Every structure is written in C-alpha cells, then in structure tokens.
Amino acid sequence: MSQQPRKPVQKTEAGLYDLDLVREIAESMKVLDGPLIPILHALNNRFGYVDEAAIPVVANVLNLSRAEVHGVVSFYHDFRHEPAKRHVLKICRAEACQSMGAEKLFAEVAQALGDSAQVTLEPVYCLGNCALSPSAMIDGKLYGRVSKETALAEVRK
C-alpha cells in the first residue's frame, strides 16, 4: 500500500501550518466523547498554537460551524492564536492576585518587556496559588509572591 505524498504546508499569517495534518488529527480523534477540546489541545501541542486556518478544517470534520469552533478557541486561554516566543510568562489576574497587586505587576512587566521578541506575556485567571499572591507561571513553573524583578530575572535567564 503506497501513501500519497503530503501536500506542502500552507503559509498562514502566523507561519507554516500543515492543514492536512490538522485534518488527520481531527479525523483520528472525532470518535472521542466531546472531541473538540481534545482536538484543539492536540493541535496546540503539535504546532504550538491553533491557527485560524485550522478552524474551518476542524469544524468540517466535526460537522460544527466555524463560529462554534472559534468560540471555544477564543474562550479558553490555553489555546494560543500564534506561536509562543522563547519564554512564556503568565501572570494571574484573578481576585486574590488582584488584591495583592497583580494588575500593577502585569502593567509594570508589560512596560518593561515592551515588544520583546523573547517573551510571550499572557494574563491568566487563577493559577491555584492564591495563598502566595500574586502568582505567575514562567515557562511552566509556578511562582508565588512574584515581583516585577523576579519575573524579569526569570525570563532573562
């Protein structure tokens, strides 16, 4: 049995994204109960983000509207819309962290980073580390009582 050659990856606004592989992933997972979120996680893990070009493919495989798929992608903060940079800094902005200065921390870090080519700065709403507010996750590692200096030092390593 011979395999057909894979079509070249398609150029999208965010970069190269293999839509044939998107279809393969979606087709292989569509038998799951509630397959949309697992498929989106698989795409996020495989490509590092969920490109807009993948939305109609997933919608077609699952017989959903593009709006339904887009709604899920845009609702959950774990689904990236573009590739992450070298470091990912997530600062909690939920109530407990807000009460301990997370809004100010986020603004100060954002200003210090500017348009950094090395750091993706993301707000998140609860890292489950409320007792050590304000909290941040830096490259997958959880930190408590984070200051601007701590956050910047970690992403500049």
DSSP characters for 5-16? PPPPPEEETTEE
According to the model, what pLDDT value does residue 10 have?
A: 54
CA-based radius of gyration for the chain: 18
142 burial type by CB count under 10 A (0-12 exposed, 13-18 middle, 19+ buried):
middle
Average pLDDT, the chain: 90
pLDDT at residue 146 greater than cutoff 60: yes
Residue 71: partners with Cβ closer than 8 Å, 6 or more residues away: none
Residue 100 · residue 49 · CB < 8 Å: no
3-state SS, residue 142: strand
Q: Exposure string (b/e) for 31-62, b if CB count within 10 Å is 16 or more?
A: eeeebbeebbebbbeebebbbbebbebbbebb
pLDDT, residue 72, reads 96
With 90 as the cut, is the pLDDT of residue 68 above it? yes
For the stretch 74-96, pLDDT in tens is 998 789 888 889 999 999 999 99
Q: Is 90 exceeded by the pLDDT of residue 4?
A: no
| pLDDT for 81 | 87
Reported as a single tens digit per residue, the pLDDT across 12-46 is 554 578 999 999 999 999 999 999 999 999 999 99
